[in-house]
Structure 1
Amino acid sequence: MTREHPRPVLQPTASFDWIIGSDEPGAAHRIAQETSWALLDRVRAGADPTVVERVVGLASGDGIDDIAELWAGEGTHSLAGVLWRLYLLRRVVSADPEGSAELFRRGAAAAQTIDPVVAGAAEPVTPLSISELCDTILRGAFVGDVGDALDRAASYCQVMSLGSADLADTRDAHDDAHAAHLTTRALRYAGMAQELHAGARRWRDGTLA
C-alpha cells in the first residue's frame, strides 16, 4: 500500500457545514494524490512519534488550512479525500469540544447498534475524551490500519448523526432554525459515515486512489 511520491508540499477549513457536500473544486487531483500518499508513506516509514504527533496536530493549528486547500475537494475514492475527512472531524471537535461531546453522548444513548463501541470514546464522554478520541482515530490512519481507522471514524459519524438528530428533536418546539440546522448536520454526518465506510472498503481491496 505504499507509493513513490515526491516530498509532500502542504499548501482552511471553512466550517464543517460548508465543506461537506460543497461544490468547491479544491486543489488539482494529481497534487492531492501525490501529497496524501507521500505524507502517509513518509510517516509510516519513519515511525517517529514526534513526527506522528506533528502530523496529527495539523488539525488543531494553521496546518489545517493547507490541507484543506489541497484535499478538501477530493472524494472517498482517494486517500486525500478520506484523510481530509479524518482531519475535518478533528477540526470540528477542536472548534467546539463541549458541543461535540454533547452530541456524542446523545447519539450513544440513542444508538441501537455497536457504533458507540466501535468508535470507542472513553467514559464518561467529556470534551477532553472526545478530542482524544478524534486524535486517536487520526493517529491510527498513520500508524495503524487505515481501513480500521476509517471504519472507526464512520462509527463516530453515525453516533454524531444520531446525536444531532436527537438534539434537533428537542429544539423543534423552541427554535425552528436551529432545529433545521441540526437536522442538516445529522444528514451530513450520516453521509460522511457512508463515505468513510466506502473508503475503508477501497483501502482493503487496493482501489483507493
Structure 2
Amino acid sequence: MTDSSRPYHKPTKLPGFRFDDLHGADDPAKTSRVAHETAAALLERVRRHPDPEIVSRLVSYTDDNGIDAIAELWSRAAAHSLPGALWRIYLLRLAIREDPHATSLQFQRGTEVLQSIDPVVAGAETPTGPSEIIDLADRILRGVFEGDFAVALERAAAFCRVSAAGCTSLADDADPTEPERASLLTRRALRFSEFAAELTAAARLWRSDSLE
C-alpha cells in the first residue's frame, strides 16, 4: 500500500469531534470515474483472494497513512455507491479509534435505551468498553474484504443506529446543565442516523447487484 521511494508523510489525524461536521462526500450527481474504478478493483481483488496479511493492512491502512489518501479517492462519491459506502466505513472506524471512550459510552447507552435488534446485529461484546468498540470497528471493516459485504454494511448501519440513540439519550441528560455538549451530541446523533440510512441503502443495493 505504500511506496518506499516517496518521502514520509505524517498521517492526518482527525479528532473524534470532527465526525460531527465532516461531510466527506458532497454526494454529487456524478462522481469521478477513478473513485468507482479503484473501489471496485480493490474490493474484487481482495475478496477473490482474501490474504489475511493484505486484509489486515487494509483494515489498519489509515492508522499508518491517515485518512487523506482514501478521502481523495472516495469522499466525494455518492452515498449510495461502492466508493461512498467504503468511505463511510473507513470514516466510522477512524471516529471510533480517535475517541474510543466516547464512542463506547454512546454505544453502551444506546444498547440500554434502544428497543431493537440493532445491538445484536452490530455484534459488539457486552458490556461495551473502549477495547470492545475498537475491536468491533476492526471486525466490521474486515468483513468488507473477507465476509458478506452486505452484512458488513448492515452491521455498520446497526452500530450507527445504536450510537445515534445513545447520543440522543446523553444529550437529554446534558441539556439542563451542559447545553453546548447537548448540542454537540444531538448533531452527532443526526450524523449517525444519516450514516445508518445510507449504509442500509447501500447494503440493499449490493444484494440486488445495483451498487456501483
TM-score in terms of structure 2 length: 0.87
Q: Given the alignment of the two structures, is residue 46 of structure 1 paired with residue 49 of structure 2, yes or no?
A: yes
1:12-23 residue pairs with structure 2 within 5 A? Answer: 15-20=18-23, 23=26
User: What is the identity, as a one-letter code, of the residue corresponding to 1:87?
Assistant: Y
Aligned twin of 1:4: none
Quick one: which of 178, 181, 204 aligns to 1:178?
181
- Confirm or deny: 8 A CA contact 2:26 2:77 kept in the other structure: no
- Confirm or deny: 8 A CA contact 1:155 1:193 kept in the other structure: yes
User: What is the identity, as a one-letter code, of the residue corresponding to 2:182?
Assistant: A
CA distance, structure 2, for counterparts of residue 61 and residue 173 of structure 1: 41
Aligned twin of 2:6: none
Quick one: which of 140, 146, 151 aligns to 1:148?
151
Aligned twin of 2:62: 59
Aligned twin of 1:196: 199
TM-score in terms of structure 1 length: 0.89
Alignment gaps of 5+ in structure 1: 1-6
- Confirm or deny: 8 A CA contact 1:68 1:84 kept in the other structure: yes
Superposed displacement of residue 79, structure 1:
0.6
- Relative to structure 2, which stretch is displaced further, 182-191 or 71-80? 71-80
- Relative to structure 2, which stretch is displaced further, 181-190 or 62-71? 62-71
CA distance, structure 2, for counterparts of residue 103 and residue 192 of structure 1: 16
Superposed displacement of residue 64, structure 1:
2.1
Identity %: 47
Superposed displacement of residue 44, structure 1:
1.4
Do the aligned partners of residues 22 and 43 (structure 1) sit closer, same or farther apart at CA in structure 2, a change above 3 Å counting?
Answer: closer
The superposition leaves residues 40-94 of structure 1 with CA deviations (integer Å, 9 ceiling, x where unpaired) of: 1121122110000000002323242210111111123211000111101100011
User: What is the identity, as a one-letter code, of the residue corresponding to 2:201?
Assistant: A
Aligned twin of 1:31: 34
Do the aligned partners of residues 81 and 124 (structure 1) sit closer, same or farther apart at CA in structure 2, a change above 3 Å counting?
Answer: same
Do the aligned partners of residues 13 and 30 (structure 1) sit closer, same or farther apart at CA in structure 2, a change above 3 Å counting?
Answer: farther
1:94-109 residue pairs with structure 2 within 5 A? Answer: 94-109=97-112
Do the aligned partners of residues 151 and 83 (structure 1) sit closer, same or farther apart at CA in structure 2, a change above 3 Å counting?
Answer: same
User: What is the identity, as a one-letter code, of the residue corresponding to 1:171?
Assistant: A
Aligned twin of 1:75: 78
User: What is the identity, as a one-letter code, of the residue corresponding to 2:74?
Assistant: W
What number of residue pairs does the alignment pair up?
Answer: 199
The superposition leaves residues 85-120 of structure 1 with CA deviations (integer Å, 9 ceiling, x where unpaired) of: 110110001100111110010000001000001001
User: What is the identity, as a one-letter code, of the residue corresponding to 1:102?
Assistant: L
CA distance, structure 2, for counterparts of residue 76 and residue 206 of structure 1: 16
- Confirm or deny: 8 A CA contact 1:154 1:194 kept in the other structure: yes
- Relative to structure 2, which stretch is displaced further, 32-41 or 60-69? 60-69
Moved over 6 A (4+): none
CA distance, structure 2, for counterparts of residue 147 and residue 13 of structure 1: 28
CA distance, structure 2, for counterparts of residue 164 and residue 183 of structure 1: 6
User: What is the identity, as a one-letter code, of the residue corresponding to 1:61?
Assistant: D
RMSD after superposition: 2.1
